[in-house]
Amino acid sequence: MLKDFVLTILNILYHPFRKLMPYQTFRYAACGAGNTLLDIFIYFLSYNFIFQKQIVYTPVGAISPYIAAFLMAFIISFPTGFYLNRYIVFPGSILPGRNQLVRYFLLVIACVFLNYFFIKLFVEQFQVYPTVSKIITTFIVVTFSYLTQKHFTFKGKKA
């Protein structure tokens, strides 16, 4: 099973970090980093090769290539992130799966707006290269996401 494989890899990788942080924090950092790297990689491929840095025309309207690349990366990183958080990082959450999914979806929608806002801000106002803008934006949004997931989305029992 994929869950068991991921947990085995995390157990092996945790050894050098065990004195620095609790295992759940390590799992969150490792899964979050993996999903974030996947997101950035898909963004980079989408922006540079799929959309070829060109405006994307849809029946609804035109989308800038950096926002289209963000949406492409989101389609993949959303379900991957939920799976990792639900089954790997926070398996002891007291909330039913449906509630977790709704809360995760609400959090992700907030993160989508934050991503959109910050990418547009950095690219259009500050003239920062789109991939660099995505990386800076990711640091901002990950901080917000971590705090929200820990205390709201996958809330566990109080110790």
User: pLDDT tens for residues 45-72?
Assistant: 999 999 999 999 999 999 999 999 999 9
Convert 134-147 to b/e letters by CB count within 10 Å (16 or more is b). Answer: bbbbbeebbeebee
* Rg of the chain in Å (alpha carbons): 17
Say how many C-beta atoms besides its own lie within 10 A of residue 92's C-beta: 9
Rounded (10°) angle between helices 65-84 and 23-45: 150
pLDDT digits (tens, 9 = 90+) for 28-44: 999 999 999 999 999 99
Helix (H, G, I), strand (E, B) or coil at 156: strand
pLDDT digits (tens, 9 = 90+) for 112-152: 899 999 999 999 999 999 999 999 998 899 889 888 988 88
**Closest alpha carbon to 76 in 30, 122, 121, 35:** 35
Rounded Cα gap, residues 154 and 19, in angstroms: 25
Give the model's pLDDT for residue 158: 64
